[in-house]
């Protein structure tokens, strides 16, 4: 049984109560910015063991009739084909996925806001696609002097240039595929346009991280810095909160920078601002629901290490530069994180050294470490997956889960008929073969039944995995990291 560090039921109760209080603070219309992932916040579930990825949407379901959802996406993220690390899909595809999920749960999706739009070709293509699908689209433009030139921002030449979204529900939730998508700017734009139309509205923020009532350098907060290393986000003491109340609270640079703008907008709309600090804007109760700080600290350190390996691999792929890696090295130093905290790392490297080929290792729920090596028929990921299923199911190494009579014909099919040069089976192919074997082999059926037990396990590989293997392992809930090294010296890797 994995260690639990977070009381999710307490969180659902206290967080929903806090949101309802904030809604009552503003009459008529509230724009609620949802930071992080609204539907499947896997980062939160990894660093706060016990947090359910769908907690936020479950809270919103209690207010479903009053909720309208807007999805913001940064045009630059579409242009550079940015990918969600936890799901392995691009941000624009995730917008479509989110719309389907929200509609399937009975929520009304008001439209998609394209932020920082400046005529990017990929953004235009996506807007055309959305329009063809019957989804309302809106363009928001870069604003000169943002966020420091308040007079220009709060003007018809600033926020006034943006398209206005005519919403129909009292609670407008603004969400996005990932950070840096322009959620707050979307809310600010709506506040300004409402003011111009004589509509009274308010703003609040639901941001899980950083957690305002944890220390600045707490591993949970440092894990947030690691998750946003490509955005140059920095956790910091909220200076406005300290000045207003004499109390220390943790926030981050973008919220602190934008707070004077938000104040200026509120003062134009209502004469005074309802908030004294960026922390006041938030409704986050996560810090009050941590029930085992040690468990959350350990989980957060593991997350920081995984983020570091991911950044190194992305740099090798040419999808990131040196800066995120340097930032993560600093975060690792602050959180006292080294590769030694993950037993799978040293086990995988040792296996590769002794076998002379790519290898992997996984830490099982009971703390045991299993390894897998590359063979003529199986890649390292496939071998590790089968070995892990054996170990969790109590199946001895001497027993065969998939016979050579099944494996070898599939390998021949790949090379002789499907044009693959590599005969080794990927993890998805191995699971299919395991399923077929389970029809006649009780041990294969037993192994297959162990798959849910691997959720939350940490696995490390000595080479960068194929997209197929990495995505499948993530779908199984396995936390994957890899050395920044390709299996071959070829220039093209797919």
What's the pLDDT tens digit per position in 100-144?
999 999 999 999 999 999 999 999 999 999 999 999 999 999 998
* Angle (nearest 5°) at CA 480 between 476 and 486: 125
pLDDT for 483 beyond 90: yes
Summarised one tens digit per residue, pLDDT across range 286-328 is: 999 999 999 999 999 999 999 999 999 999 988 888 999 999 9
What integer pLDDT is reported at residue 29 of this predicted model?
A: 86
Other CB atoms closer than 10 Å to residue 43's CB: what's the count? 23
**pTM metric for this prediction:** 0.85
Name which residue leads in pLDDT, 266 or 92.
Answer: 92
Contact yes or no for 217/337 (Cβ under 8 A): no
16 pLDDT above the threshold of 90: no
The confidence score (pLDDT) of residue 76 equals: 94
According to the model, what pLDDT value does residue 38 have? Answer: 76
Per-residue confidence (pLDDT) for residue 15, from 0 to 100: 87
Write out the two tokens for 72.
């913001």
Which H or E run contains 291? none
How high is the pLDDT of residue 482?
97
Residue 17's pLDDT is 85
Written as six digits, the tokens of 37 are 């992932």
Q: pLDDT tens digit string along 133-168?
A: 999 999 999 998 887 788 888 889 999 999 999 999
Q: Give the Cα separation of 283 and 115 in Å (integer).
A: 25
> How far, in Å, CA of 59 to CA of 179, rounded?
21
The region of weakest confidence among 261-275, 297-311, 410-424, 461-475 is 410-424
Neighbours of 86 (CB within 10 A): 17
Measuring CA to CA, how many Å separate 111 from each of 10, 92, 469? 32, 14, 34
Give yes or no on whether 8-291 and 342-482 have one common fold.
no
pLDDT of 367 > 90? The answer is yes
Measure the CA–CA gap between 29 and 166, rounded to whole angstroms. 12
Please state the domain extents for the chain. 8-291, 342-482
What is the Cα–Cα distance from 423 to 338, expressed in whole angstroms? 36
Give the separation between CA 160 and CA 133, rounded to whole angstroms. 28
CA dihedral 190, 276, 224, 15 (to 10 degrees): -80
On average, the pLDDT of the chain sits at 91
Indicate the CATH number for domain 342-482. Answer: 3.40.140.40
pLDDT tens-place string over residues 203-242: 999 888 999 999 999 999 999 999 988 877 899 999 999 9
Percent of the chain past pLDDT 70, that is, above it, reads 98
- Look at phi and psi of residue 40 and say left if phi exceeds 0, alpha if psi is from -120 to 50, else beta: beta
Which residue, chain included where needed, has tokens 């009971």? 366
CATH number for the region 8-291 comes to 3.10.630.10
Confidence of residue 265 (pLDDT cuts 50, 70, 90): confident
CA 144 to chain centre: 30
CA separation for the pair 354, 372 (Å, rounded): 12
H/E segment holding residue 174: strand 171-175
* Whether the Cβ atoms of residue 219 and residue 305 lie closer than 8 Å to each other: no
pLDDT-based confidence at residue 493 (cuts at 50, 70, 90): low
Which pairs count as long-range contacts for 271-276, CB under 8 Å and 24+ apart, including other chains? 274/25, 274/26, 274/202, 276/240, 276/241, 276/244, 276/245
Query: Which tokens go with 376?
Result: 């003529």
């Amino acid at each position: 049984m994995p260690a639990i560090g977070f009381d999710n039921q307490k969180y659902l109760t206290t967080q929903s109560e806090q949101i309802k209080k904030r809604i009552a603070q503003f009459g008529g219309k509230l724009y609620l910015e949802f930071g992080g992932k609204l539907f499947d916040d896997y980062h939160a579930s990894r660093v706060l063991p016990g947090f359910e990825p769908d907690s936020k949407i479950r809270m919103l379901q209690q207010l479903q009739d009053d909720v309208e959802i807007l999805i913001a996406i940064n045009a630059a993220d579409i242009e550079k084909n940015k990918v969600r690390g936890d799901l392995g899909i691009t941000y624009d595809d995730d917008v479509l996925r989110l719309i389907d999920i929200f509609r399937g749960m009975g929520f009304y999706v008001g439209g998609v806001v394209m932020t920082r739009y400046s005529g990017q070709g990929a953004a235009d293509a996506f807007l055309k696609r959305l329009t063809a699908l019957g989804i309302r689209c809106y363009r928001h433009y870069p604003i000169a002097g943002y966020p420091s030139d308040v007079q220009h921002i709060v003007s018809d030449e600033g926020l006034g240039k943006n398209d206005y979204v005519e919403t129909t529900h009292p609670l407008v939730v603004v969400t996005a595929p990932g950070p840096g998508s322009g959620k707050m700017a979307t809310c600010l734009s709506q506040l300004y346009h409402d003011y111009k139309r004589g509509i009274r509205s308010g703003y609040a923020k639901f941001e899980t991280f950083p957690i305002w009532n944890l220390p600045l350098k707490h591993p949970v907060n440092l894990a947030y810095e690691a998750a946003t290393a490509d955005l140059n986000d920095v956790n910091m003491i909220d200076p406005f909160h300290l000045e207003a109340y004499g109390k220390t609270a943790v926030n981050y640079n973008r919220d602190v920078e934008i707070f004077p703008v938000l104040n200026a907008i509120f003062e134009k709309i209502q004469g005074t601002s309802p908030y004294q600090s960026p922390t006041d804007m938030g409704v986050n109760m996560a810090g009050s629901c941590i029930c085992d700080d040690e468990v959350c600290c350990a989980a957060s350190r593991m997350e920081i290490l995984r983020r570091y390996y991911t950044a190194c691999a992305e740099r090798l792929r040419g999808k990131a530069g040196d800066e995120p890696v340097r930032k993560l090295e600093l975060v690792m130093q602050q959180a006292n994180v080294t590769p030694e905290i993950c037993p799978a790392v040293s086990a995988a490297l040792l296996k590769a050294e002794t076998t002379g080929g790519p290898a992997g290792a996984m830490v099982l729920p009971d703390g045991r470490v299993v390894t897998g090596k590359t063979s003529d028929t199986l890649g390292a990921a496939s071998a590790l997956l089968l070995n892990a299923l054996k170990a969790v199911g109590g199946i001895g190494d001497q027993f065969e889960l998939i016979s050579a009579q099944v494996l070898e014909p599939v390998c021949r099919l790949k090379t002789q008929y499907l044009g693959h040069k590599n005969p080794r089976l990927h993890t998805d192919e191995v699971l299919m073969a395991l399923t077929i074997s389970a029809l006649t082999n009780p041990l294969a059926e037993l192994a297959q039944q162990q798959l849910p037990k691997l959720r939350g396990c940490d696995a490390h590989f000595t080479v960068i995995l194929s997209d197929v293997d990495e995505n499948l392992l993530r779908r199984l809930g396995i936390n994957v990291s890899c050395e920044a090294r390709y299996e071959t010296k070829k220039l093209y890797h797919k």
